[in-house]
Amino acid sequence: MSLSSVATLVILILIAAYAVILYNGLVRLKHGVGKAWANIDVLLKQRHEELPKLVETCKQYMQHERTTLERVIAARSAVASAREQHDVGALGKAESGLRAGLGQLFALAENYPELKANDSFQHLQQRISGLENGIADRRELYNEAVNLNNVRIEQFPDVLLARFFAFKSAELLQFSDAEKADVDLKTLFG
């Protein structure tokens, strides 16, 4: 075997090894996005199970606030539907509606001292607030995983393998500007 064929063979082995390393990195990032989504999904399911209990507790006290309770129930259904379909864009919109409804519900609960004093309501409010914080934290981790994946599949030379093996970009989980805004208590109690 000549020196040039050995050199060519070594170069080909190095290129193949480099391609395997790139491919494995892309796979790791893709699965990181899936894992981050699964972490959010767990909390969304837990909150989904807690919301009917909260609404039932509130119904006993808040007879005049039917529209708020119905809004929370409708938003809960929209979140569940988007989550089941893995539609990140629709989930962001539905989450915005649910968070706004919960914020309004918790603000309106201030007008009902018996409800605020109810142990079940307090427990559910704390549980749901804790889940909301967890979802926010995990959303940040999910978006970071999505960003790493999306940047990597667009960078050279990774883009060559990403296109060849049909790696797809993932969608960030974003909430609407209305959800990020402060609650206007004057409109709630006006």
Q: Which CATH class is domain 19-189?
A: mainly alpha
* pLDDT one-digit tens code per residue, 6-48: 999 999 999 999 999 999 999 999 999 999 999 999 999 999 9
The domain limits of the chain are 19-189
* pLDDT one-digit tens code per residue, 65-91: 778 888 888 999 999 999 998 888 889
Q: What is the share, in percent, of the chain residues with pLDDT greater than 90?
A: 47
The DSSP letter of residue 1 is -
166: left (phi over 0), alpha (psi -120 to 50) or beta: left
The single-letter code of the amino acid at 93 is K
pTM greater than 0.85 = no
65: three-class secondary structure by DSSP: coil
Q: Is the CB of residue 149 less than 8 Å from the CB of residue 171?
A: no
**Structure confidence at residue 187 (pLDDT):** 43
Q: What is the mean pLDDT of residues 84-104?
A: 88
Concatenated DSSP letters for 111-123?
A: T-HHHHH-HHHHH
Where does 60-117 have alpha helices with state H?
A: 66-84, 88-109, 113-117
Q: Is the CB of residue 59 less than 8 Å from the CB of residue 115?
A: no
Could you tell me the pLDDT band of residue 61, with boundaries at 50, 70 and 90?
Answer: confident
**Structure confidence at residue 79 (pLDDT):** 92
**Structure confidence at residue 120 (pLDDT):** 86
How far apart, in whole angstroms, are the C-alpha atoms of residue 28 and residue 45? 25
